[in-house]
Amino acid sequence: MPRIEMKTPLVEMDGDEMTRILWKWIKEILIEPYVDLKTEYYDLGLPERDRTDDKITEDAANATKKYGVAVKCATITPNAQRVEEYHLKKMWKSPNGTIRRILDGTVFRAPIIVKGITPYVPGWKKPIVLARHAYGDIYNSVEARVNAGESAYIVVCGKDGKEVSRQLIKDFPSDGIVQGVHNLDKSIESFAVSCFNYALENKIPLWFGAKDTISKTYDHRFKDIFNEIYERDYKARFEEAGIYFMYTLIDDIVARIMRSEGGVLWACKNYDGDVMSDMVATAYGSLGMMSSVLVSPEGNYEYEAAHGTVTRHYYKYLKGEETSTNSVATIWAWTGALAKRGELDGIPELVDFAKRLERAVIDTIEAGEMTGDLIPLFRRDGITPKKLESREFLHAVASRL
Ligand code: NAP
Ligand code: MG
311 lines ligand 1 (CB under 6 A): yes
Nearest atom (ligand 1) to Cα of 311 = 28
CA of 218 to the centre of ligand 1 (A): 36
The CATH number assigned to the domain holding 242 equals 3.40.718.10
Query: 127 and 266 share a domain?
Result: yes
262 lies in a domain? yes
Closest-approaching ligand to the CA atom of 271: 2
Phi, psi of 105 (to 5 degrees): -120, -175
User: Rg of the chain's alpha carbons, rounded to an integer?
Assistant: 23
Three-state SS sequence of 371-390:
CHHHHHHECECCECCEECCH
Number of domains making up the chain: 3
17 lies in a domain? yes
Query: Each residue's pLDDT tens digit in the chain (401 positions)?
Result: 799 999 999 999 999 999 999 999 999 999 999 999 999 999 999 999 999 999 999 999 999 999 999 999 999 999 999 999 999 999 998 898 889 878 877 889 999 999 999 888 989 999 999 999 988 898 878 999 999 999 999 999 999 999 999 999 999 999 999 999 999 999 999 999 999 999 999 999 999 999 999 999 999 999 999 999 999 999 999 999 999 999 999 999 999 999 999 999 999 998 998 889 888 988 887 888 999 999 887 889 999 998 999 999 999 999 999 999 999 999 999 999 999 999 999 999 999 999 999 999 999 999 999 999 999 889 999 999 999 999 999 999 999 99
CA of 270 to the centre of ligand 2 (A): 10
Query: 323 and 210 share a domain?
Result: no
CA distance 82 to 200: 41
CA of 276 to the centre of ligand 2 (A): 7
Final residue belonging to a domain, choices 227, 253, 284:
284
CA of 247 to the centre of ligand 2 (A): 23
**220: Cβ contacts below 8 Å, ≥ 6 apart:** 210, 212
CA distance 124 to 118: 9
The protein residue whose alpha carbon is closest to atom 38 in ligand 1 is 308
330 lines ligand 1 (CB under 6 A): no
CA distance 114 to 116: 6
CA distance 106 to 133: 6
Closest-approaching ligand to the CA atom of 272: 2
CA of 158 to the centre of ligand 1 (A): 46
Query: 162 and 131 share a domain?
Result: no
Query: 353 and 369 share a domain?
Result: yes
Query: 251 and 382 share a domain?
Result: no
What letter would DSSP give residue 97? H
94 lines ligand 1 (CB under 6 A): no
pTM of the predicted protein model = 0.88
1 lies in a domain? yes
113 lies in a domain? no
CA of 5 to the centre of ligand 2 (A): 40
Nearest atom (ligand 1) to Cα of 328 = 18
Query: 298 and 396 share a domain?
Result: yes
Range of the domain at 229: 118-140+182-284
Best mutation site among 287, 307, 327 for ligand 1 pocket (most ligand atoms within 8 Å of CB): 307
CA distance 343 to 349: 10
The protein residue whose alpha carbon is closest to atom 26 in ligand 1 is 308
pLDDT, position 104: 77
Nearest atom (ligand 1) to Cα of 306 = 41
Final residue belonging to a domain, choices 236, 255, 284:
284
pLDDT, position 277: 86
The protein residue whose alpha carbon is closest to atom 5 in ligand 1 is 310
85 lines ligand 1 (CB under 6 A): no
pLDDT, position 97: 83
Final residue belonging to a domain, choices 284, 302, 328:
284
225 lies in a domain? yes
211 lies in a domain? yes
375 lines ligand 1 (CB under 6 A): no
